[in-house]
Structure 1
Amino acid sequence: MFATFLIGLREGLEAALVVGILVAYLRRIGRSDVLARMWAGIGLAVALALGIGAVLTFGAYALTSQAQEILGGTFSLLAVGMVTWMIFWMQQAGRTMKSSLQGGVDRALEAGTVWALVAVGFVSVAREGIETTLLLWSMSQTFGRDPSVLLGAALGLGIAVVAGWMLSRGALRLDLGRFFTWTGAFLVVVAAGVLAYAVMDLQEAGVIPGPFSGAAPVDAATGVVLTGWAGFPFGWAFDVSAVIAPTGVWAVLLQAVIGFMPHMTWLQVTCWTVYVLVVGFFFIRGARRAHGGSHRAASAAPSHPSSLTPSNPGAA
C-alpha cells in the first residue's frame, strides 16, 4: 500500500500539474469557452487508462497460466521502460513543461478545430495514465492482486488531485524539483523490483532460462536446483525463506519498497543490480546537473529588489 501510494501520488501530481497549467492558461488568455473541449480530451485519457487496466485485469483470466506469465512479464517490462523514460523526461523537460504545454494550446487554437484541443488534453494526460496503469497492474500481479495495492494508489491519486488544485490556486507551496527528485529516486528502485518480477514471470513461462527450465544446474543426487554460487547463472541466487517468511510482513514490505523476495534467481538479482547501478548513476548525474544549473541561475539573478519581477506561485 505504501509503495503504490507514493506511485499514485507522484504520477497523479504530474498529471494534476499538467491539467492545472492547461486550464489556467486558457483562462488567462480569455478562452474559458473552450475548456469543455479540453476536459473532454482529459476525460478520454482517463477512460483509456481505466480501460487498459480492465482489459489487463479481466482479460488475463481467460488465458492459460503460461500465457498469463508471458503477458505479465511482457507488460512489466513495458512498464519499466515507460517509468525509466518518464524519470529522465521529467529531469530534462520539467523546467520547460509549462511553455511546451502552452505552445500546444496556442497551436490547437490556431487550428480552430474541436479535435485539436481535445487532442492536447488527451495526449497530455494519457501518457501519465497509461504509465501509471501499467506500473500498478504489474505491482498488483506481484502481490497477488491484493486490494491494498489499489487502495494505496487511490489514496495517492486523490491527494495528488487535491494538491494539484491547491498549487494552482496558490494555497500550497511545494518544492516540486525536490519532490520529483526524491520520488524519482524511489521509482528507480521500484522499477528495478518490477523488472525482477518480470524476469521471474518469463522464467516460469520458459521464455528465458532459469530454475524452471532444463538449463538450471541441479544436484546430481537429488535433482534439486542448486542455490548460491553453485547455481549460477540459471539457478537460485539465495533462499532465505526460513528466516523471512514469503508471506510475512517483512517480505511484503521489502518486496514493495526495493523488490526483494526471499527466494530469487541469479538472473533476477543480476537484472535488479545492473538496473539500479546504471539507471541510478545517470539519474544522480542528471539531478546534480539540474541542481548545479539552478544554483548558478540563482547566483546570477539580480539582487536589487526593484529589479525583480514578482512571481505568482499559483500561476501554473
Structure 2
Amino acid sequence: MNQSMFIVWRESVEALLVIGILQAWTSQQGLGNRLVKYLWAGVMLGLLLSGLLAVLILFAGEAMSGSASEWFQAVLALIASLLMVQMVGWMHRNGRTLKFDLRRHADNHLARRGGLGLLLLAMLAVSREGSETVVFLYGAGARLRGPQLGLFAVGGVMGLVLSALTLALLHSSRRFISWQRFFAISEVVLLMLGAALLVSGTERIGGQLLVLDFPEQVYSIVGEALWDSSTLLNDSHGLGGFLASFAGYRATPSGLTLLVWVGYWLVVGGWLRQQTADNLPCPT
C-alpha cells in the first residue's frame, strides 16, 4: 500500500505539474481557448496510451505461467528499478529548467504544427509519466494477491488524492516546503524504492537459478542466508516490513541479495555525484 501510494503520488505530481505549466502557457497565447482543447486532448491520449500499456503488461503476465511468469515479473521489476534511477538522474539534469524547457518546446511545436504540436507534446509528457507509473506499480505489486492487492489499489487512489493536495500546498505557500526540497526528498525515496525493486527482481531470478544445474557454490550464494536478524527487525511487519518494501531490507539476505543491494548504492551514489559535479557552474 505504501509503495503504490508513493509511486502514484510522485508521478501524479510531476504529471499535474507539467499539465499546469502547459495550461498556463496556453492562457498567454492569442488562441488560448482553442489551444486548451488540444492540450486536454493530448492529456487524454497520453492516459489512453498508458492504459493500453497496462493492459498489455497484465495480459502478458496472465498469459505466462510457471518459470516464464517469474522471469517476466523479475525483468519488469529490474526495468522499474532502472527507470527510477533514470528519473532521478533526469530531474538532476533538468529539474531547474523544466518550466523553461516546456515553454520552449511548446513554442516550437506551436510554430511548426499549430495546435496538433501542443497535443503531441502533452500526449508524450503524460504518456511518459503514465507508462512509468504502470511499470513501477507492476514491478512493486506483481507478488500481491487477495487482500494485499486490494490495499495496494487503495494506496494508488490515496496517492492521487495526496498529489492534488501536495500541488495545492506547494502553489499556495512555500513556507513549509519548496519545489526544490520536495523533489529532493522524493528523489531519495525513489532511489530507495529502486533498491527494493532491484532486490525483489534479484530474488525472483535467484529462485529460478536454484532449480538449474549449477555447482554447489552457486546455490550457497543464491539460496543460503548470511545471517538472521528477524529477532531484532523482522522484514514481514512493522518497521522491518516498511524498510523491506521501501528500501529492500531483508532479515535473512543471501550473498547475491547483499551483493546486489550494496552494489546498487555504490553505483548510484557514484553516478549521482558525477551528475552533480557535471551540473556545477564552471569557475571563471
Q: Give the CA deviation at 1:160.
A: 1.1
Distance 2:84 2:271 in 1: 14
| More helix per residue | 2
1:269 matched residue in structure 2: 258
For structure 1, the residue ranges without an aligned partner over 5 or more in a row are 219-224, 297-316
Task: Note if 1:156 corresponds to 2:159.
Answer: yes
Residue in 2 aligned with 1:7? 7
- Written as runs of structure 1 = structure 2, the 5 A alignment for 1:223-234 is 231=220, 233-234=221-222
Deviations 1:201-257 (A, max 9, x none): 223334xxxx44332527xxxxxx97xxxx3x3342436386366644455323112
Q: What does residue 78 of structure 1 align with?
A: 79
Count the aligned residue pairs.
276
Aligned equivalent of 2:50: 49
Deviation at 1:91, TM superposition (A): 0.9
Pair 1:28–1:113, CA change in 2 (3 A): closer
Alpha-carbon displacement from aligned partner over 1:164-189 (angstroms, at most 9, x marks no partner): 3565xx42434111111121112112
The answer to whether the 8 A contact 2:88-2:187 is kept is yes
CA distance in 2, matches of 1:240, 1:157: 38
For 2:42 and 2:25, the matched residues in 1 are separated by 16
* CA 195–61 in structure 1, closer or farther in 2 if over 3 Å, else same: same
Larger Rg: 1
Which residue of the partner structure matches residue 300 of structure 1?
A: none
> Normalized against structure 2, the TM-score is what?
0.85
Residues 1:214 and 2:213 aligned together: yes
Kindly tell me: are residues 261 and 55 of structure 1, through their superposed partners in 2, closer, same or farther at Cα, counting changes over 3 Å? farther
- The alignment's TM-score, normalised by the length of structure 1, stands at 0.77
Which of 215, 224, 244 pairs up with 1:255? 244
Residues 188 and 280 in structure 1, CA contact (< 8 A), matched pair in contact too = no
Residue 87 of structure 1 corresponds to 88
Q: Does 1:22 align with 2:22?
A: yes
Spell out the pairing of 1:186-225 with structure 2 (5 A cutoff).
Answer: 186-206=189-209, 211-215=210-214, 217=216
Instruction: Find the aligned partners of 1:132 and 1:161 in 2 and give their Cα distance.
Output: 16
| Aligned partners of 2:3 and 2:140 also within 8 Å | no
Q: Which letter does structure 2 place at the counterpart of 1:234? A: V
- Which residue of structure 2 aligns with residue 240 of structure 1? 228
SS at match of 1:180: helix
Distance 1:200 1:125 in 2: 32
2:267 aligned partner, one-letter code = V
CA positional deviation for 1:68? 1.0
What pairs up with 1:113-132 in 2 under 5 angstroms?
A: 113-132=114-133
**Residues 279 and 242 of structure 1: CA distance in aligned 2, closer, same or farther (over 3 Å):** closer
For 1:21 and 1:165, how far apart are their aligned partners in 2?
14
Q: Is this contact kept in 1: 2:196–2:244, CA < 8 A?
A: yes
Q: Which amino acid aligns with 1:269?
A: L
1:47 deviates by 2.1
Structure-2 separation of matches of 1:38 and 1:48? 15
Query: Does residue 105 of the first structure (1) align with residue 93 of the second (2)?
Result: no
Distance 2:153 2:198 in 1: 20
1:5: Cα distance to partner? 2.1
Which shows bigger deviation, 274-283 or 194-203? 274-283
When the two chains are superposed, the root-mean-square deviation of aligned CA atoms in Å is 2.8
